[in-house]
Structure 1
Amino acid sequence: MKRLVILLTLQLLLVYSAIAKQDKKQITACFEQYKTAILSEDAELALKCLDSNTIAYYSNIASLSRTATRDGIDTLPIMSKLLVIVVRHRIPKPELLKMNGKELILYAVKNGMLGDKTSIDQTTITKISIDDNKATALFKDGKQVSDNYFRFNKETEGWKLDMTSISGVVSKSFNRVISQSGLTENDFIFRLAEASSGRRIDDTIWEPIAEK
């Protein structure tokens, strides 16, 4: 009896190990697909790689871009504030008025609005840790492994990347640059937005484009 229990336990461990190995392959494949999508501006592929948290986040950004006042925008975390300003600045009003989260992601990918391609190309993931339907993976820039991580969630269609998981890391990076530059947060955001478009921003950027 004891031997049978040991054999069953070993079998279960082998099955679990095989499942975990397969999950790690799928997580890596998801990340590599997302990288490929961003680098090639393949919007549909990028969208397939993103989880429901990310889509909900961009739905909120689309809504805020239409309706938020200056006071509302100023209370946002820096990453969300930057996105709202960039979206208002770069997306034509008639299109933005109709956009949901998925449509905003599609537009952003097609127009190179989601990150610097050079840094994305050099980023890989490592040390994947899985807990049921959630996973984390440290990101690696070239040969250097960061202590920051991406989150992944296993949804109906498989493992998906949660891009909201890096907002804290990006915010810390931005705040460090701001403190070194002597710029205000808003000046820094404006400069980034202007650099992405080649056009100046004026104070009308703070005005909502639609009524709530």
Structure 2
Amino acid sequence: MLENIFKIIIGIALCSLVSCDKEKNGTLTDKDAIDSIDAKEKVTDCFNGYKESILAEDGDKAVKFLSSGTVELYQKYVDLALDAEKDEIQKLSFINRMQAIFIRHRVAPDKLRLFDGREALVYAVNNGWIGRDETIGTSLGEVYASGDKAVANVIIKGTPTNQSFHFVCEDGVWKMDLEKLLVATNVQMKRVVQESGMGEDQFIFTVLESVSGKKVQDSVWDPVGR
């Protein structure tokens, strides 16, 4: 169970735990349903291309379907893993703390020093850090958009859900935006941690040890260094 939860979180991709409502700021509403069949197809094609890449563990292909904001977010995780001291890591939100510790624990220092955000994403996909079981049964339902943003209802194993994925159009190309997904996941996972009866750091270490098969050492709090 813990391994499945962690793959969903880190995965950066297809999450069956997240319940992410459409934006309530007036930019995206049900009235904004995309009328253009072409636009719907492009958002759906983006999702399907990303999904196929995840199933094939093809990181170079998968990252082409991700927004620049997603890549920038993973650059932040790499920088944290390399540079952040323990007190800085512990001040992060649960999901950001988990990401930074995960990278430190699972990526060799010499390799990590060569990473940027894009390479971190490619490495994650190539090494199967995203749950295939969660990916296989996931598809898109209705698509809604306003300007260069879109959300799509999520269907899991043929059943519509109240979940959604976000997309942005960059230079005329629709991309998946996983940044919003991780923000929503942070809220959901804090509830999971509370239900587990563990402290947040204990939960992170337990999950990490489950998926890696290696004990998490106290040195995981220390910056890797450049």
Q: Deviations over 1:19-75 (max 9, x none)?
A: x21111111111111111111101111011001010110111110110111111112
Corresponding residue to 1:75 among 71, 75, 91: 91
Unaligned runs of 5+ in 1: 1-15
Matches within 5 A, 1:142-161: 142-156=157-171, 158-161=173-176
Unaligned runs of 5+ in 2: 1-33
Corresponding residue to 2:214 among 195, 199, 204: 199
Give 1:168's aligned residue: 183
Structure with more contact order per residue of length (Cα contacts < 8 Å, sep ≥ 6): 2
RMSD over equivalenced CA pairs, Å: 1.5
Q: Following TM superposition, by how much is the alpha carbon of 1:146 offset from its aligned partner in structure 2, in angstroms?
A: 2.7
* Aligned partner of residue 118 in structure 1, secondary structure: helix
Q: Following TM superposition, by how much is the alpha carbon of 1:173 offset from its aligned partner in structure 2, in angstroms?
A: 2.7
Corresponding residue to 1:45 among 49, 55, 61: 61
One-letter identity of the residue aligned with 1:142: K
Q: Following TM superposition, by how much is the alpha carbon of 1:89 offset from its aligned partner in structure 2, in angstroms?
A: 0.6
- Say if 1:149 and 1:165, in contact at 8 Å, map to a contact too: no
Distance 1:196 1:157 in 2: 38
Corresponding residue to 1:101 among 117, 120, 135: 117
Normalising by structure 1, we get a TM-score of: 0.86
Q: Deviations over 1:84-122 (max 9, x none)?
A: 111101111011112110111111111112x32111211
Distance 1:105 1:47 in 2: 7
Q: Deviations over 1:139-175 (max 9, x none)?
A: 2222333323211111126100001121133223322
One-letter identity of the residue aligned with 2:115: M
Q: Which has the higher helix share?
A: 1
Give 1:136's aligned residue: 151
Matches within 5 A, 1:20-35: 20-35=36-51
